[in-house]
Structure 1
Amino acid sequence: MRFCTLSSCSYANCVVVQDQHTCILIDCGLRKRDTRPYLAAAGLSPGDVDAIILTHRHIDHVYGLNYFLKEKNVPIYSTIRVLHELNQSMHFTAPPRLNILSECSGQRIGTLGVIPFRLSHDVETIGFIIHGDGERLGFITDTGFVPESCLNAFRDLDYLYIESNHDLDMYKRSAKPGYVIRRNLGLTGHLSNEQCGRALQAMRRQNYKLVVLGHLSEEDNEPRLALDCAMKNLPQGTPLASAPSREPGLWSDNLIQLIKEKSPPE
């Protein structure tokens, strides 16, 4: 199994996950002008995508749904609460093929298994464990804290994609309105670098193949700050990277190889 971020920031979020037989998008926030080029950068087209799974209804995660469904009418998966909020907030040009994921129980999407976990955001939001080819990916973004259920379940993973949204010191100088800052720092906001680090420590995973930090704020964080904080809370030598904000990243297998090549010899 491998994964690739197509965009990871408050502008647009979309991640591709695939095994040997199934290709899914986690969220579909890309603009129309970006969808085909960003997929092409990953060696894909809309025709290669088998399904979309949604974390929540915020616009940076669902903006491109209508356009993508015109390209290929793939099924959309999420929990009943997320799909209900999506239907209330979004006008679909054609009836979508909605499929319900049961919380904390497994379901197959093609050859990939998906287990959703409820998170803590200001709208109904979920994270996932996705498994395929004998490997497991944990996915957590858009949450004010990491629930105990995730901390426990995410201790047995090969890959982790986790939010590291903002740096607390940079937030003290933020140009964002006060109500936005209070929301983002609250229990239904976003994970700070420090919260991400504490979650990594609590998961106590010793042999990740790769950890990727996602959903970094473009105004109130810097990749080096997020990476430094995460590195302090991971076992030495853990492959670690931050997702690019408005452009496709490398596939996870290529990223792991690049990190190994850049690592100094022991």
Structure 2
Amino acid sequence: MKFCPLFSGSSGNSIFVGTENTKILIDAGVAGKNIEAELRAIGEEPSSIDGIFVTHEHSDHIKSVGVMSRKHNIPIYANELTWEAMLPKIGKVKEENIKLLDTRYTAIKDIEIENFRISHDAVDPRGYLFNTKKGKAAIATDLGCFSDEIKDILNSVDVLLLESNHDVEMLKFGPYPYVLKRRILSEVGHLSNEACGNAILELIKSGRKRIYLGHLSKTNNYPQLAYETVSSILKENNVNIGEDVYLSMANRSNHSEVVNL
């Protein structure tokens, strides 16, 4: 299994996961030409993508979903409510490329995909877990809270992109209007650096994992702060980084480190 965040941040998101036989994108929230360039940079051709799985309908996740589908004839997978919300924003899509996720599990060739509910202010947002013979990978961003259900789902993964969106103090004293601050801090908002660190403490109880910290706010966070905050929480709880857990930052404007399981 090959896993790589191509873009991760408040300004746009797209993640690649694949095997020798199957190639999948999760979201396409930046310009299509940029996604194509980063795919090629990690040795993948855009025309080889077997499907785009959409987490939710916000623009930083769907900006070029329609473009990529039309240009490369790629099926788009999303639940019914998300489809209804995003259709007016993505342009015309071939009927055969509209794939409704009406069950929890689906499969494309040798990858089984599980979708699970997340807490965010979208119509029906989802995270995804990808299961192959070589291992499991998951995407869990845009989380208002880290629930027991999500913890149970993610306990079994080998590699994970987990949200570390904001520093609470930066957000509280930053330029955002009060209503937006309340939304981000709510249970349908985003996971803070501290909440991310505490979530990782729970996840590594089930075994060693490779975790990317991602979906950072451009205004209320920066990579070094996110990494240091999470690292401090782990070290305070006697977790050895590099042994008990491998931490990486997911880049905002280009592909991150590629993981091969």
Q: Same fold (TM over 0.5)?
A: yes
- Flag the 1:36–1:128 CA change in 2: closer, same or farther, 3 A: closer
Matched residue, 1:252: 259
**Preserved CA contact (<8 Å) 1:20 1:133:** no
For 2:93, what is the secondary structure of its paired residue? coil
Partner of 1:60: 60
Q: Which amino acid aligns with 1:36?
A: E
Q: How big is the shift at 1:195?
A: 1.2
Moved more, 13-22 or 132-141: 132-141
User: In the aligned structure 1, how far is the partner of 2:206 from the partner of 2:179?
Assistant: 38
- What SS class does the counterpart of residue 228 from structure 2 fall into? helix
Alpha-carbon contact 1:156-1:205 (below 8 Å) kept: no
Task: Go from structure 1 to structure 2 and tell me whether the alpha carbon gap of 1:209 and 1:194 turns closer, same or farther (over 3 Å shift).
Answer: closer
Query: What is the aligned length?
Result: 252
Q: Does 1:94 align with 2:93?
A: yes
Structure 2 residue matching 1:198: 3-state secondary structure: helix
Cα distance in 2 for partners of 1:157, 1:215 equals 19
- Report the TM-score when normalising by structure 2: 0.89
Going from structure 1 to structure 2, the CA distance change for 1:102 and 1:70 (only over 3 Å counts) comes to: closer
1-side partners of 2:33 and 2:111: how far apart? 29
Matched residue SS, 1:245? coil
Q: Give 1:109 shift.
A: 1.7
Partner of 2:106: 107
Indicate if the aligned counterparts of 1:157 and 1:208 stay in contact, CA closer than 8 A. no
CA RMSD of aligned residues (A): 1.9
Give the distance between the partners of 1:200 and 1:102, measured in 2 at CA: 30
* Identical columns (%): 29
Residues 78-103 of structure 1 show CA distances to partners (whole Å, capped at 9, x for unaligned) of 2222223223x425233352222245
What letter corresponds to residue 74 of structure 1 in structure 2?
I
Unaligned runs of 5+ in 1: 257-266
The code of the aligned residue for 2:194 comes to E
Q: Is the 8 A contact 1:47 1:72 kept in 2?
A: yes
Equivalent residue for 1:233?
A: 234
1:45-75 CA distance string (max 9 Å, x none): 2112111001000001000112212221111
1:242 paired to 2:246? no
CA distance in structure 1 between the aligned counterparts of 2:204 and 2:246, rounded to whole angstroms = 15
Q: CA deviation at 1:10?
A: 1.6
Equivalent residue of 1:137, what SS? strand
Query: One-letter code of the match for 1:244?
Result: N
SS in 1 for 2:205: coil
1:163 is matched with: 163
Cα separation, 1, equivalents of 2:65 and 2:37: 16
Question: 1:110: Cα distance to partner?
Answer: 2.0
Give the C-alpha shift of residue 209 in structure 1: 4.1
Give the partner amino acid of 2:5. Answer: T
| TM-superposed deviation, 1:30 | 1.8
Instruction: For 1:7-46, list aligned pairs within 5 A.
Output: 7-46=7-46
Please list every run of 5 or more consecutive structure 2 residues that lacks an aligned counterpart in the other structure.
none
Alpha-carbon distance between aligned partners in 1 of 2:63 and 2:90, rounded to the nearest angstrom: 11
For residue 134 of structure 1, report the CA deviation from its aligned partner: 3.0
